[in-house]
Structure formats: C-alpha cells, structure tokens
Amino acid sequence: MNIIFMRHGEATDNIKELISDKEIYWSVLTEKGKETVLESIKSLPDSIDKIYVSPFPRTIETAHFVFEKHPTTEVVIEKRLHEIYYGKYSGQKNNEDLDQTRIMQIEGDYFVRFGEYGENKYDIETRLCDFLNDVYAHNFKNNTILIVSHGSITSYMKRILKIKSPHIKTGKIEEFVDVDFSPLFKHLTFLKSIKSKHIKERIQMVKDLNINNNLKKNIMKMAKDFNNIEFSEDYFVNFLDGIKTSNLAQIKKQKFDDGIILICFYNNFEPLAKKWMNHYINIGIKNFVLVDNNSTDKSTNILKKYEKKVNISFWKINETYNCYKMCGWKQQILEYYGSGKKYLIVDSDELFIYKNHQKISFTDFLAKTKVSFIKSLMLDVYTNKNIYAGKLDDFKFVDRGTYRKTSTVPYGQRFYGGPRARIFEISPSLQKIPFISYSGSEVLANDHYYYPWNINKKSKYCSYLLHYKFLPEDKEKYDTFAKDERHWNNSREYKTYQNVLSKTPKTSFYDKNISIPIDKIDFKF
C-alpha cells in the first residue's frame, strides 16, 4: 500500500502562532496556504484510491482542492485524524506549560496531559494506531491512500510506522511506496502492555486497602477504568494514599447524637471560624468532625469554645495538603463513622444554605425534600471594595445572572461562571454534593462529584454554598499556594489570581448591574 501524507496549507492560526485555542477549530487557509496546496497537488500521482481527512476547516479545505483534481475518489472525514486536543487554553502564545508537556511526552511520559482535560500521549497514539489499523484492514495492498492532516499528527503516524523523515511543511506532501505495517502491529502490542501493566498495579493498590467490600468494589471499577481523564495516575495514587494514611488521627473522641454529621478539614480559618460555627449551629447541626490540617493560628481554640453547645470530635493530620489526598482523607472519615448515616461535608470557607434556612433546620428541610444527595452551586461572596479588601461584615454580595451550566458524564450538571469567570477569565467547577446519605459504596472521587456517576445525576440541586474565598487574610495564603503548587493543575488558578492582581491591584468583583446582597438570593432552582 502506498501512503501519501499531506499537511494542510498555511492557515490563520499558523499566522497567529496559536498552540491551542477555540480559533483552531475555525481556522481557514490563507491565500499563501492555498497557493502552496495547489502547487503541491501538481506532484500527486494520477490515481488516488481514497482520501482520509481531518475534520477541521483548514484540512477539509486542503482536501477539497485535491478532490477537484480527483472528483471520483472516495473521501472520508476521519475524526481520529483531528489535531492534538490541548485542553483549555490559557490564551498565551507559545504556552510554556504545553511546551513542557510536549517535552515530557517525547521523553516517554504516556500519561501527562496537555492543559486542562487535554490529551496525553497514550490517547494520541491509541487513536492513530486504531486509524492506521483500519486503513490496513479496509484497503487493498496496491491502493494509494492520501491522508490530509496536521503536522504533529502526521509526525506521530510516521513514527508509529517507523518512517523517518523531516516534519512536513504546511501544504506539502510526502509519498511512501509499499509501506510496511509491521511496526504498527508491534506498537499496538506495546500499548496493550502499558495498559495491562498499569491496571494490574492499580488493582493491587486497591486490594491492599482496609475498607468495606462495597466501597472496595467501586474503587476497583475505577482502577480498571484505565486512562480515564477523571482518574489520572497522579489522582488515583494520591487518593488511595489519602484513604490508607495512618497520619489522620483522632485527638478527642465524642459521642454523637442521632442525625447529621458535619465533616470539615480546616487550615488557618480564624477570621471566619466564629461566623462559620454559628451558622451551622443555627441550621441545627449538632455533630461536628473537625480536622486540623497544619493550622498555625487560633482556629482550634475558637472551635473548642463551642464544645458545650454541640458535639465536636477533633482530629488532626500533619500531611501537606494535596487536593487528591484530601478526598481520600474525607473518605477515610466516612469509613470511620460508617454507612447508614447522613453527612454534610463542607470546607471551612463555605456556608451551606437552602430555602428558608434562617427559619427551619436542615433536618426539617431534609424531611420536606426527601432526598439522599443534595447538590449545591458555589456562590463566591465578595465586598463592594477591591478584592481582598474590607472587613468580614463587608462580604455580603454575590453575582446574579453570571452562572452557567453544562452537562457532562461525571458531573451530571456542571456549574461554572460567577465573578471569577468575569474577572480572572477562568471556569473552575462550582458544583458540589455536600450532603450525602452514605451507604458505604459511594466514592468521593473529587471535590465536585462522586463515583459511580449516577449519584451526580440523581443528586437534587436545591442549595447553595456561600463561598468566602477572597477574605483579606487569604491573599498571603493564595500566594503560597501559587508558589508551592499544592492545588489542582499545579495551582494554576492561584497563579492566575496573582498575575491579574499584580497588574491591576485595585480590581473589584462588585458590579452594580450584577451584584446583589446575599439576602436577595433566589431559591428557585
């Protein structure tokens, strides 16, 4: 079989030097690009049996010029030939993070991903091997096949087939006669071995866990769900480390009343601690599991003052915070207190609210709603002053009309938007499931969803989490997060805060056309 690789002609995204952006999906050929393609077509053979083309405008436009010369040739728009998906793009040209990922992939890392939700090397090679295998199976040996794609994708296919040649320039072609497909089959075997090895390692890690059988069964399913973008190797290992760590220690045991158990891990939340405790006591919470994660302020001393009012079990963990490990720590707490109970799991900067929460207890609200899982939208709370400015009492505004939702497999409904999207141009996930009736099988897979996935779909959206994320004391803490990269995606979100506010320090979330007082929040879901 003869294979001709053709790279699309110069396009508008090439001119702007964009590595990844929505614009690449609509990029079309420049006049120079069209000229190069038309010149290259002159050197094509008289007969082409089939044309495979990537499903982007600039590649389809390139293939169309070929089709005009070969109008009887079958053309297949092939999804597997699409450009590398770089995930959510930062908006920068020559993005350093994406360049670093590319270097790591070249050096042999099959699982590091481009950007947020971008592809990894295993994804790219798997889809291209699958495509080339179909090309081999569905064409005759003496056929001539034209593949119109992107420079990086063409280079990947040539490496898989062990064809050594330079990177094709835009609009140019390369022809290879009587291509040997045996390297492809060897590479398919290699990819299978990678998958088999990692699944075995993950399964063994789960077998070693001292947890109930129903929970272990679901985590085992996660282990077998190889290369799932939601269960990266880094996530999975750290999550399991969190479940089995022996550093999570109970400092003071407390007998709990029947009813809801609130679980909260905290670190230096002295400014909000009193308001936080009073809020949850006011909505009727009587049982608290409060876990100190390396606090250096007076948070614990403030919390101890409430021991006569409610039941508080104090815990401590001295490990460095890691967002994946934290989910494992929370799962370990759920396992300790056991199944058949109701849990409210919130962060130390979140106040859980629902309709008429000022007048009725959460227990009464549950009796009325009759749900086992409650979903919340996180509403960022801010002042009418500059970000990080003002006193706690000044934090009384939220956005109205700036939140959006989409539907995804893991999340069910995924919420995003709000003031952080307006000011920082980021879209963190803003949905959580803080209330859960724990049967012993639910996996707290992420701060924003549970596994199995159906839990997220059946959870009822009927509450909010007031999110006090930008208190004056938080700036120094977030600068530390940006430096030590302890949070998700190497603390990319906190680096964005730093970058924007260093350029415009007087930035405010407040907008008279959008901002409303907390007491004006609408509970129509």
How confident is the prediction for the chain on average, in pLDDT?
92
| pLDDT bracket for residue 354 (50, 70, 90) | very high
Q: What are 435's two structure tokens?
A: 């209330």
> In which region does residue 490 sit, left (phi positive, over 0), alpha (psi from -120 to 50) or beta (all else)?
left
Instruction: Please report, for residues 36, 401, 463, the alpha-carbon distance to residue 522 in angstroms, rounded to integers and kept in the order given.
Output: 58, 11, 10
Confidence at residue 515, expressed as pLDDT on a 0 to 100 scale: 98
The yes-or-no verdict on residue 388 having pLDDT over 90 is: yes
Confidence at residue 460, expressed as pLDDT on a 0 to 100 scale: 95
- Identify which has the larger pLDDT, 218 or 14: 218
Q: What percent of the chain has pLDDT over 90?
A: 77
The yes-or-no verdict on residue 427 having pLDDT over 90 is: no
Q: Which of 19-23, 122-126, 396-400, 519-523 has the lowest mean pLDDT?
A: 19-23
Look up tokens 């009325």; give the residue: 368
At the second CATH level, the architecture of 2-176 is: 3-Layer(aba) Sandwich (3.40)
Q: What are 452's two structure tokens?
A: 């199995």
pLDDT single digits (tens) 86-121:
876 555 555 677 788 889 998 999 998 887 788 999
- Identify which has the larger pLDDT, 503 or 355: 355
As a whole number of angstroms, the distance between CA 104 and CA 426 comes to 25
Confidence at residue 169, expressed as pLDDT on a 0 to 100 scale: 83
Confidence at residue 488, expressed as pLDDT on a 0 to 100 scale: 66
- In this prediction, residues 200-219 reach a mean pLDDT of 96
Look up tokens 């879209």; give the residue: 427
Confidence at residue 171, expressed as pLDDT on a 0 to 100 scale: 83
Confidence at residue 94, expressed as pLDDT on a 0 to 100 scale: 58
Q: Which residues lie closer than 8 Å to 108 by C-beta, 6 or more apart?
A: none
The yes-or-no verdict on residue 15 having pLDDT over 90 is: no
For 76-95, give the secondary structure using H, E and C: EECHHHCCCCCCECCCCCCC
pLDDT single digits (tens) 471-495:
998 888 887 877 877 776 677 788 8
Q: Tell me the residue ranges of DSSP E strands in 388-524.
A: 397-399, 403-408, 412-417, 431-438, 443-446, 449-451, 460-467, 515-517
User: Whose CA is closest to 181, among 217, 145, 214, 135?
Assistant: 135
Q: pTM for the complete prediction?
A: 0.87
pLDDT single digits (tens) 34-91:
999 999 999 999 999 999 999 999 999 999 999 999 999 999 999 999 999 887 655 5
What does the DSSP assignment read for 48-116?
--EEEE-SSHHHHHHHHHHHHHSTTSEEEE-GGGPPP---B--S-TT-HHHHHHHHHHHTT-SS-BSTB
Confidence at residue 308, expressed as pLDDT on a 0 to 100 scale: 96
The yes-or-no verdict on residue 20 having pLDDT over 70 is: no
The yes-or-no verdict on residue 123 having pLDDT over 70 is: yes
The yes-or-no verdict on residue 432 having pLDDT over 60 is: yes
Confidence at residue 257, expressed as pLDDT on a 0 to 100 scale: 93
The yes-or-no verdict on residue 517 having pLDDT over 70 is: yes
Look up tokens 């064409």; give the residue: 139
| pLDDT bracket for residue 230 (50, 70, 90) | confident
At the second CATH level, the architecture of 245-520 is: Alpha-Beta Complex (3.90)
| pLDDT bracket for residue 23 (50, 70, 90) | low
How does strand 515-517 pair with strand 397-399? antiparallel
Q: Which residues lie closer than 8 Å to 238 by C-beta, 6 or more apart?
A: 322, 324, 325, 328
User: Whose CA is closest to 488, among 325, 328, 293, 323?
Assistant: 323
